[in-house]
Amino acid sequence: MKKKILIYGSYGYTGNLISEIAAQKRLPVILSGRNHEKLVNQGERLKLPVKKASIESSGDLDELLSEVHVVIHCAGPFMHTWKPMAEACLRNQCHYLDITGEVAVFESIKVMNKRFLEQNLMAMPGVGFDVVPTDCMAAYLYQSMPDATHLELGFMGLGGGISHGTAKTMVENLGRGGLIRENGELKRVPSAYNVKAINFGLKSSDAVTIPWGDLSTAYTTTGIPNISIYMAATKGMIRGMKLSNFLAPVLKLNSVKNWLKKRIEAKPIGPDKHQRKNGKSMIWGRVENSNGAIKEAIFVTKEGYQLTAEMALLIAEKVVAGKYRSGYQTPAGLFGHDLIFEIEKTEWVMK
């Protein structure tokens, strides 16, 4: 029986963090991506096997996945890469995991539920910071108030930053505006559609609505029909998001996106080791029912990229051990709201 874990996009910022932990734990992994030189260098450094494969080549993927039990797909932007990998998983009897936070990707993979069910395979996108902590918060609040009609989730990072890959995904989505879920349906709204002050427990901040993956996953996990997701933001960030509503036609131009991506490449690749070790993520949630009853909760967990690396491998190990359910699944929907507390240093601030 196949037991190997594939880390595809292993030499990217997040993929490399996952690979480093896998090497420390001596897990049966294969590292892969399309760049032969980067793969070889990474494999030699971590003393792990590597295999080059292009996401555009079904032949490459079929050969790669022939000896793999579960894939951790780390090569974004996922709007361009999820489908060939998911299709390859179906052809080769592999479970599919990824670290996306893109609503459209969750919704698209959800449509493939029947195909994964028929092959007794699981598809679980969003096994990192996007969306495990917030999905666990949504599940906890729903358990506390099963008749909730409105759900708000928010997050704030202290001492971290973003990777090149995350920044490029944000560039890809420029000009598309915001998103909320209203009466069970996804609804396009302007960027920075709503702004509110949130007490995250360790710190208070203004926060702004964003098109985060929980607009898909939290609805799947809880069935709550009205959902908004907030991210802590500075006043300057909020002004910029509101301005983007007027610049949407320009921001959608490929020439503008390519220029922004070049600017991103000139910046640090992501949070350094010290930032990942000492950074924190604060997760806030609030539900309300039709009678006006309200329940809020807050927990603190690790810095986002560190959390992603540890959580992605934790879930992959569960799958290898047979702890999975066929079809499309959400993290908290399958493993429960306590999943996040399997990560060290995660603790309630208010519940």
In a 3-state reduction of DSSP, which class is residue 2?
Answer: coil
Q: 237 CB contacts (<8 Å, ≥6 apart)?
A: 208
For residues 78-100, average pLDDT: 97
Is residue 165 predicted with pLDDT exceeding 60? Answer: no
The H-or-E segment that residue 338 falls in is none
* Residue 189 neighbours by CB distance under 10 Å: 16
Domains of the chain: 4-128+306-335 (3.40.50.720), 132-304 (3.30.360.10)
Give the pLDDT of residue 270: 74
- The predicted pLDDT at position 3 comes to 82
Tokens standing for 346? 């995660």
Identity of the amino acid at 241: M
Q: What is the dihedral of CA 199, 280, 129, 168, to 10 degrees?
A: 100
What distance lies between CA 143 and its chain's CA centroid?
Answer: 23
Residue 252: its pLDDT value, please?
A: 61
Q: Is the pTM above the cut of 0.85?
A: yes
Tell me what pLDDT residue 280 has: 93
User: Given a cut of 90, is residue 1 above it in pLDDT?
Assistant: no
Give the per-residue pLDDT at 238: 79
Nearest to 162 by CA among 275, 252, 82, 81: 275
pLDDT in tens, 238-282: 787 777 776 666 556 566 455 554 664 555 567 888 889 999 999
Helix axis angle for 78-91 and 164-172, nearest 10°, is 100
Q: What whole-number distance in Å separates Cα of residue 219 and Cα of residue 213?
A: 10
